[in-house]
Amino acid sequence: MATDYDTPRTADIEDASEQSLEALKARRADAAADLGDDVDPFETELGLPGADLAGEELNVRVLPRQADEFTCTQCYLVHHRSQLVDERRMICRDCAA
Give residue 22's pLDDT. Answer: 80
Instruction: Give the span between the Cα atoms of 5 and 2, in whole angstroms.
Output: 9
Give residue 91's pLDDT. Answer: 95
Contact assessment for residue 88 and residue 69, using Cβ atoms and an 8 Å cutoff: no
The residue that leads in pLDDT, 49 or 11, is: 49
Give 71's strand partners.
78
Other CB atoms closer than 10 Å to residue 36's CB: what's the count?
Answer: 6
Give residue 43's pLDDT. Answer: 57
Strands (E), 1-97: 69-71, 78-80, 84-86, 91-92
Asked if pLDDT for residue 84 goes beyond 90, the answer is: yes
- pLDDT per residue over 19-33, tens digit each? 677 887 888 777 766
Q: What is the pLDDT averaged over residues 77-93?
A: 94
